[in-house]
Amino acid sequence: MDKIKLIITQVVHFLEEGKHSIEEVQQKLDEMTIAINELQNEFYQNDSEIETVARDSIGITVEEILQYFELDIDIEDALRKREW
């Protein structure tokens, strides 16, 4: 979970840099989601997976980030690349 936290934190730092277009933010969210997807393979190698609680937590965290930065992006769009 520390790796997931680091990936999400990178998005927050990106947003803190200043004004970005919605397209740029969506691209960063897609990159974040793909990186989390890739971690899922690591979980599988260790006979684990990103469980339901973790999936929900990621979704809630991303939704809170969108709200905090007042970004008009639907959570389903924000996580559109997810495979978990």
Residues 65/14, Cβ–Cβ less than 8 Å: no
- The mean per-residue pLDDT over the stretch 17-27 comes to 94
Residue 53, CA atoms < 13 Å, CB-side half-sphere: 1
Name the percent of the chain lying above pLDDT 90: 69
pLDDT tens for each residue of 35-66:
999 888 777 777 777 777 888 999 999 999 99
Please classify residue 83 by burial: count the beta carbons closer than 10 Å to its beta carbon, then call 0-12 exposed, 13-18 middle and 19+ buried.
Answer: exposed
- Domain contains 84: no
Q: Which domain holds residue 41?
A: 2-78
What 3-state DSSP class applies to 1?
coil
Q: How many domains does the chain have?
A: 1
Residues 62, 63, 69, 74, CA torsion sign: positive
pLDDT for 71 beyond 80: yes
Q: Is the pLDDT of residue 7 over 70?
A: yes
